[in-house]
Amino acid sequence: MSTTNSASWHLSKNDWSNMLHSPHQLTRRSFLAAATVAGLPGTSTRAAGISERYAKLGRRGLLGDVVIETKIKDKKIFTEGPAVDARGLVYFTNVPAEKILRWDPVRKKLSVFRTRSNKANGLLFDPDGRLLACEGGAGRVTRTDLGTGKMTVLADEYENFPLAAPNDLALLKSGTLFFTSRPGTPDPTKGNPNAVYQLDLGTKQPGGRILHRVLEWKTIHMPNGIVSSPDDKVLYLIEAHPDAGHHRLIYAYQLDSDTCWTKPRTLINFSPGRSGDGMCIDAEGNLYIAAGLHKTRKTSETLDTRPGIHVVSPRGQLLDFVETPVDTITNCAFGGKDLRSLYVTCGPYLLSIRTRIPGKAAYRPTK
């Protein structure tokens, strides 16, 4: 495992890959110039759909330059799930290697926080500084006290079946936890389906906490990233099914409505391109969504969705976009002293992007 402090792309087509390791930043202007020379996906005109939104961006300047914080080297690499603790340390996962990694952005040091992580994916810190983890390989959600090392299993089954792999999670100020779970079985007699679950961590009922399944297949197709608005009144859910004829969009659920789970609002539709994977939210309620591909894979997903961070308003307007290098961009999280550093997991890289608006206050643990 090795690291680099920061890097950017060359303008030369022949030196494109070499410049991934040079010690300076990538600006939007230099990237687009390089992309044009190299003929990368994302620089040509695409068909109608999500691609039309890129020409009508509303508030450019919300996102700064892309910086490579560090590069991961391992036998298998698929980075995911960034989360930032009260000290500013960035935790993120290498799913197939079953590792939770830790990046110190001040000391520029990468270390391994946990091995045998049960293919942990999404991570989140609670207000008390405890690390919540979606352990996809074990089919459970856990909470770890970083001071004592004590791990608590919060959920691992529903209706006597193991959970399908938990993927991402959102925690309300009330202590209510929502998490996504996929891929599951479409046959309820054989196991649990793709679903979203709710667990109240604020109070403990007699006999233990009660797990509720609030959404499931076929109402939803392939749930992925999940976040709540700054006032916790809206829950946003990414649908990211790679097969044709399935959802690739973001739903908004009004949590204070009686029809919350039955009448969601579609915020933005990424189809026919790759949908969002993970996302986070700023103090004004704008979503920062990791979505898109540089090249097609063995699915029906097109390149209409450009690979990078998409800033989307609470009304569904695409406000800003910045392209990221290499596949596959997966997730993002706010950090830094002012909550204006956006950390992004992307292929073998942990990236950072400065933002104009800070992340919602709940992202900063108090301990």
Q: Are 166 and 134 in contact (CB under 8 A)?
A: yes
Q: Are 9 and 40 in contact (CB under 8 A)?
A: no
Q: Is the peptide bond before 272 cis (omega within 30 degrees of 0)?
A: yes
Cα dihedral 159, 253, 93, 17 in deg (nearest 10): 140
Cα dihedral 65, 108, 307, 80 in deg (nearest 10): -150
Cα dihedral 55, 57, 60, 66 in deg (nearest 10): -70
CA 163, CA 216: separation in Å to the nearest integer? 12
- Give every residue of the chain whose pLDDT is below 70, as ranges: 1-49, 203-208
E strands, 105-233, where? 109-115, 120-125, 131-135, 140-144, 151-155, 157-158, 161-162, 166-171, 176-181, 195-200, 211-216, 223-228
CA 185, CA 217: separation in Å to the nearest integer? 9
- pLDDT value at position 1? 42
Residue 253 host element (H or E): strand 248-254
Dihedral angle sign, alpha carbons of residues 117, 330, 290, 90: positive
Return the half-sphere exposure (C-beta side, CA atoms, 13 A cut-off) of residue 289.
37
2: burial class by Cβ within 10 Å (0-12, 13-18, 19+)? exposed
Q: Is the peptide bond before 108 cis (omega within 30 degrees of 0)?
A: no
Query: Tokens representing 257?
Result: 């409505």
218: burial class by Cβ within 10 Å (0-12, 13-18, 19+)? exposed
Q: What fold, for 18-363?
A: Neuraminidase (2.120.10)
Dihedral angle sign, alpha carbons of residues 176, 84, 353, 79: negative
- pLDDT value at position 204? 64
Q: Are 215 and 221 in contact (CB under 8 A)?
A: no
Query: Tokens representing 263?
Result: 């009448």
Separation of CA 44 from chain center: 26
Nearest to 288 by CA among 339, 245, 326: 339
State pLDDT tens for residues 180-189.
999 999 998 9
- pLDDT value at position 14? 36
- pLDDT value at position 206? 57
Phi, psi of 310 (to 5 degrees): -110, 125
220: burial class by Cβ within 10 Å (0-12, 13-18, 19+)? buried
- What does the domain layout of the chain look like in residue ranges? 18-363
Return the half-sphere exposure (C-beta side, CA atoms, 13 A cut-off) of residue 324.
33
For residue 117, give every residue at least 6 positions away whose Cβ sits within 8 Å of its Cβ, in sequence order, or none. 93, 98, 99, 100, 133, 135, 137
CA 149, CA 190: separation in Å to the nearest integer? 35
First CA to last CA distance, the chain: 29
